[in-house]
Amino acid sequence: MRHLSKSDKSTLIIVAALALLAPFILNPFPEGSALAQFNAGYPDLMQRFAIFGILAIGFNILFGLTGYLSFGHAAFLGVGSYSAVWMFKLLSMNIVPAIILSVIVAGVFSLLIGFICLRRSGIYFSILTLMFAQMSYSLAYSVLTPLTNGETGLQVYNDDPQYLMGPNSPTVTNLFGLEMRSTFTLDLGPWAFQFNFGYYVCAFFLLLAFYIAIRIFRSPFGLMLRAIKTNQTRLNYTGLNSRPYTLAAFVISGMYAGLAGGLMASMDPLAGAERMYWTASGEIVLMTILGGVGTLLGPVLGAGFIKYFENIFSKINETVLHGWFAFLPDGLNDAIVWVLHFFVGKGWHLTLGLLFMLIVIFLPGGLMEGWTRIRNKFRGGKDDGEAPSPTAATTPAE
């Protein structure tokens, strides 16, 4: 902590406070009220906020700093999940060996793919990563079925070896005996706040990942990555070989994805090939762009934004809408519900797409640019460099 600037320390403290108080912040509406539909303070969703925040932070180290746009990061997420589940099957349900193996395997896998893909840049690099991700998906789905269990997915069974399981060992995922599913509910009047142990494990790794990202951003290594993004050709003309730096960024980013995959399996010991599909990689890209490419906090916000819409707005159906507008005459109620049902439930992608369009048009720097504008309007000061200009945030490496 003493090596961080005052601004970075403040940001890290704010993120830590938000993670610690998430059960309160994400449950603003009383249980049973009409607006309780928008509460997001339940364990499964909070875990996803933290896990996909880690995934987006790692992707931002590659895309935000070097400008290399990868469409294959879901492959590392899937590899991490499969590795974790195999640890549960072979050793025990303790998540520590599973997470360690997830990070190592994802790092080795990203080293192999990065060594090949980084021979090209720009759109050619993006296409190569997409092809490798789809190859990985196909292998997991239909070829390597002894390792992945194909379409059904890899999961833990009662007859698995689990060599380190003692007679009194927990049969669910745990951290040295503390079960991931353990949840304490605090009832305060009409509110019910859930404190889940698995979420706080994910939040710890989120803070650790965020801290490492800060150190990378502010390090000489991070400055070299920014130089690569600014003009890699000119940098190469100076006689400096930039490939080891881009490969290191690619591997670090892949290890972040492996960590996220390991945590996903730790919360729910199941791994399927769908986690490696190209749409999963596209979602990671959207999270980063939506929050703010090249910023520290932006990818976390983008991940939370998309996962909120996916889990909250997708649950709003016509019955819920009719309940909200029950005070209106029947004809008007039906008309409003008919219009709105295209934007919620199965149509939540339409709402997210419209919001994404508005942000890209009016806030090219993502949510962090909007926050910077609001802050500067109140302070009357200048940008401190956290939210880069739209040009700097989207310039690819050539």
Q: Which of 232, 164, 177 is nearest to 396 (CA)?
A: 232
**Type and span of the H or E element at 271:** strand 270-271
Distance between CA atoms of residues 234 and 314, nearest Å: 47
Residue 356 CA, chain-centre distance (Å), reads 17
Task: Name the residue type at position 370.
Answer: G
Residue type, 82: Y
Q: What is this structure's pTM?
A: 0.90
Asked if 195 and 189 touch (Cβ cutoff 8 Å), the reply is: no
For residue 98, what are the contacts with CB-CB under 8 A and spacing of at least 6?
83, 84, 85, 87, 88, 262, 265, 266
Q: Of 3, 392, 20, 39, whose CA–CA distance to 206 is shortest?
A: 20
Spatial separation of the C-alpha atoms in residues 24 and 186, rounded to whole Å: 10
Count other C-beta atoms under 10 Å from residue 341's C-beta.
Answer: 17
Which of 76, 68, 89, 52 is closest to 137 using CA atoms? 76
* SS3 category, 174: strand
| Dist CA 308 CA 45 (whole Å) | 8
DSSP 184-208: EEEEETTEEEEEEHHHHHHHHHHHH
Contacting residues for 257 by C-beta, under 8 A, at least 6 apart = 55, 58, 59, 73, 74, 76, 77, 80, 106, 110
Predicted local confidence at residue 396, as pLDDT: 43
**CA-based angle 294:299:305, to the nearest 5?**
145
CA-CA distance, 134 to 80, in Å (whole number)?
16
Q: State how far the Cα of 349 lies from the Cα of 236, in Å rounded to an integer.
A: 42
The dihedrals phi and psi of 155, each to the nearest 5 degrees, come to: -145, 170
- The token duo for 189 is 């009047």
Cα radius of gyration (the chain): 22
Domain boundaries, the chain: 6-277
User: Cα–Cα distance between 160 and 91 in angstroms, integer?
Assistant: 9
User: In 3D, which of 49, 31, 60 has the Cα closest to residue 310?
Assistant: 49
- 6-277, CATH topology level: ABC transporter involved in vitamin B12 uptake, BtuC (1.10.3470)
Tell me the CB-side half-sphere exposure of residue 259, using CA atoms within 13 A. Answer: 26
For 50, list phi and psi in degrees, rounded to 5.
-70, -45
- Per-residue pLDDT tens digits for 53-89: 999 999 999 999 999 999 999 999 999 999 999 999 9
Start-end of H helices in 118-219: 122-138, 145-148, 197-217
**What pLDDT, on a 0 to 100 scale, did the predictor assign at position 392?**
44
Give the pLDDT of the chain (398 residues) as one tens digit per residue. 667 888 889 899 999 999 999 999 999 888 878 788 888 888 999 999 999 999 999 999 999 999 999 999 999 999 999 999 999 999 999 999 999 999 999 999 999 999 999 999 889 999 999 999 999 999 999 899 999 998 889 999 888 898 888 777 888 999 998 999 999 999 888 888 999 999 999 999 999 999 999 999 999 999 999 999 998 888 888 888 899 999 999 999 999 999 999 999 999 999 999 989 988 999 999 999 999 998 999 999 999 999 988 888 888 888 888 888 888 888 898 899 999 888 888 888 888 888 888 888 888 888 888 888 888 888 765 555 455 544 444 444 43
CA geometry: angle 253, 284, 317, nearest 5 deg: 150
Residue 78 three-state SS: helix
